[in-house]
Structure 1
Amino acid sequence: MSSALTFQSTKPLASGNHIPLLGFGVAYGFGKQEDPAELTKPSLAEALKVGYRHVDTAQMYRNEKFVGECIRESGIPREEIFVTSKVPASDAGYESAAKAVDISLKALGFDYLDLYLIHSPPKGTQLRLETYKALVDAKKAGKLRDIGVSNYNVHHLEEIKGAGLEAPAVNQVEIHPFCQQKTIVEYCNAHGIVVEAYCSVVRGALDHPVIASVARKHEKDPAQVLIRWSLQRGFVPLMRSSNPARIRSNAELDDWELDGDDMRQLDGLDKGSAGAISWNPIDVA
């Protein structure tokens, strides 16, 4: 990958649409008690000001309304911002998922979404396929530009293929040097599915000696090293922060790159599923 990265840098999806390489996540209200508006709006406003044009939210984050408001208040044309949301697994099933799409659009105040994902695989093949079919039909209706999944393992993806349905444009999974999801990544690469990486900076656990050493070598901070690793591995990393300085520094990736030795050292940190710090799809039946 060239070191020349900007906020305009994108990756093609199978549909012919393009997804910006740098994503800004707004999972502030996920499983927490505080009002998600208190963190979502100022953080997203700063991210948009800095130049991010890829925003990742979900119904479970309880902040779609605030994301929509913030985008409108930014004055940036809607078509210049790539917005993702997600249907929760609790809304699995055709009718529930179809309704969830409309709920997200209404909350955001948008006519369409650039990408809509199943947040995690519902339990049971039939339920997973019914949920996915609802997204396929919502795409045909023009409500969604692209559809995809999150936390899907290979056998979940094979179900979609076996049912003769279009492949997901994206599979969003936890990926960083300690949890590289190699089997899932290899499958996605072979089938034209873009891999988005969440927890790309390991939720701030940046004190590992290898990461620290590579950071010192390039005079960068550890988070920048992890994001650059993700980009050079061909992923679309999602970053999240409420710190304005961190929001800016996480995007300072355009004047340098990791060399072969750096990549080998970071690749060597993989612990497989044992390295996951969030939720892992391996055991979903």
Structure 2
Amino acid sequence: MSKVITLNDGSKMPAIAYGVGTAHNPKFRQVFGLPDFDSTQLIVEALNMGYRHIDTAEQYNKDDELAAALKKVNIPRKDLFITSKADCNNGLSVDEALTQQLARLDLEYFDLYLIHNPRFAKNDKDIQEKWKEMETVHRSGRVKSIGVSNFTKAQIQPILEVATIPPTVNQVECHVYEQHGDLVSWMKSEGIVTSCYSSLAPIIRGRPGPADDKFGELAAKYGVKDGDIAMKWCLDQGLAVATTGKSLDRLKGYLEKFDKFELTDEEIGGIRELGLQKEFSNYMQIGGGPQF
């Protein structure tokens, strides 16, 4: 499994991103009783330990912290891959949202820019028109690649009907208990990369579950932790992962163990079958409402 995924436009995207949503979100911390922490310093630590893909969004309201972190580290912009997402539900055009966020972050461009979710759309035409806005900002050079987030197959198909620049990525909650039917395989056939958030939900919020014993068995076999197995279940299928958190040891471990072991097709399939016995959405747990 490569540490870099080639998108359908030729761009190279690091397979593991450090996300500044979820655990950095005060609402999430309140729901799960997690302590506050210094987001800026944690982003700095993640970058210094080797993360080169940062996943953020307009909705995360973490631009000040991220901007401060980027100024503190001595990493050339060309060596970073920064993903962000346009809200599209706040009355701003894609161009306006992009312009404002780039200014807040003191950046000239994003490597990947996504429509955060399809809730703005009343019909397929709304989705198609929003995608045309995405293509316009792509042509401006201020975003290198474009895609979507939290979209279903039925919501992506209207884009493909009109796109001159097809989506490169669809970021969704994806793990063994949230497999989305044939969505992932269909996107692969269309050249669209699946980026997974909440890949660790089965072992953090989804326990007890039918895959628990298998996670433990494989962790013992490979000399790693259950969370490493949950994440590699995604990565070893060629999917990207956005992770987060404040445990520096855990974050460092994901990078160090990336190429130390690889799940077999049989192991991936076994986990998949166990996962189908349970449905669990981390997004629903934080009051996000239906994901799609």
- Which TM bucket (shorter chain)? 0.7 to 0.9
| Equivalent AA in structure 1 for residue 198 of structure 2 | C
| C-alpha distance in structure 2 between counterparts of 1:131 and 1:241, whole Å | 32
Q: State the partner residue of 2:136.
A: 137
TM-score norm. by structure 2 comes to 0.86
Could you tell me whether the CA contact under 8 Å between 2:132 and 2:163 is conserved in 1? no
Superposed counterparts of 1:105-116, under 5 Å? 105-116=102-113
Q: Alpha-carbon deviation of 1:96?
A: 2.0
Could you tell me whether the CA contact under 8 Å between 2:283 and 2:289 is conserved in 1? no
Aligned to 2:84, what secondary structure does the other structure show? Answer: strand
| C-alpha distance in structure 2 between counterparts of 1:97 and 1:30, whole Å | 26
Q: State the partner residue of 1:156.
A: 155
Q: State the partner residue of 1:234.
A: 238
Task: Indicate whether 1:192 and 2:191 are aligned.
Answer: yes
Q: State the partner residue of 1:29.
A: 25
Q: State the partner residue of 1:127.
A: 126
Q: Alpha-carbon deviation of 1:244?
A: 1.2
Q: Alpha-carbon deviation of 1:213?
A: 1.8
Q: Alpha-carbon deviation of 1:255?
A: 1.4
Q: Alpha-carbon deviation of 1:164?
A: 3.7
| C-alpha distance in structure 2 between counterparts of 1:188 and 1:135, whole Å | 19
Q: State the partner residue of 1:264.
A: 269
Change (3 A) 1:132 1:164: closer
Q: Alpha-carbon deviation of 1:272?
A: 8.3
Provide the aligned length of Structure 1 versus Structure 2: 275
- Further displaced range: 241-250 or 22-31: 22-31
Aligned to 1:90, what secondary structure does the other structure show? Answer: coil
Aligned to 2:46, what secondary structure does the other structure show? Answer: helix
| Equivalent AA in structure 2 for residue 178 of structure 1 | Y
Q: Which runs of 5+ in 2 are unaligned?
A: 31-35
User: What stretches of structure 1 move > 6 A for 4+ residues in a row?
Assistant: 280-283
| Equivalent AA in structure 1 for residue 127 of structure 2 | R
Could you tell me whether the CA contact under 8 Å between 1:147 and 1:170 is conserved in 2? yes
| Equivalent AA in structure 2 for residue 98 of structure 1 | D
| Equivalent AA in structure 2 for residue 266 of structure 1 | I
Q: State the partner residue of 2:33.
A: none
Per-residue CA distance 1:202-238 (angstroms, 9 max, x = gap): 1724662221221122121011111111111110011
Aligned partner of 1:275 among 271, 275, 280: 280
Q: State the partner residue of 1:13.
A: 7
Per-residue CA distance 1:224-263 (angstroms, 9 max, x = gap): 1111111111100111111111111122222112224422
Could you tell me whether the CA contact under 8 Å between 1:39 and 1:242 is conserved in 2? no
Per-residue CA distance 1:9-38 (angstroms, 9 max, x = gap): 21111111110011111101264588xx94
Q: Alpha-carbon deviation of 1:282?
A: 8.0
- Further displaced range: 17-26 or 173-182: 173-182
Could you tell me whether the CA contact under 8 Å between 1:179 and 1:272 is conserved in 2? no
| C-alpha distance in structure 2 between counterparts of 1:116 and 1:239, whole Å | 18
| Equivalent AA in structure 1 for residue 11 of structure 2 | N
Q: Alpha-carbon deviation of 1:61?
A: 0.8
Q: State the partner residue of 2:218.
A: 214
Q: Alpha-carbon deviation of 1:265?
A: 2.0
| Equivalent AA in structure 1 for residue 270 of structure 2 | Q
- Further displaced range: 103-112 or 119-128: 119-128
- Further displaced range: 243-252 or 105-114: 243-252
Aligned to 2:18, what secondary structure does the other structure show? Answer: strand
Task: Indicate whether 1:246 and 2:250 are aligned.
Answer: yes
Change (3 A) 1:282 1:14: farther
Q: State the partner residue of 1:147.
A: 146
Could you tell me whether the CA contact under 8 Å between 2:114 and 2:148 is conserved in 1? yes
Q: Which runs of 5+ in 1 are unaligned?
A: none
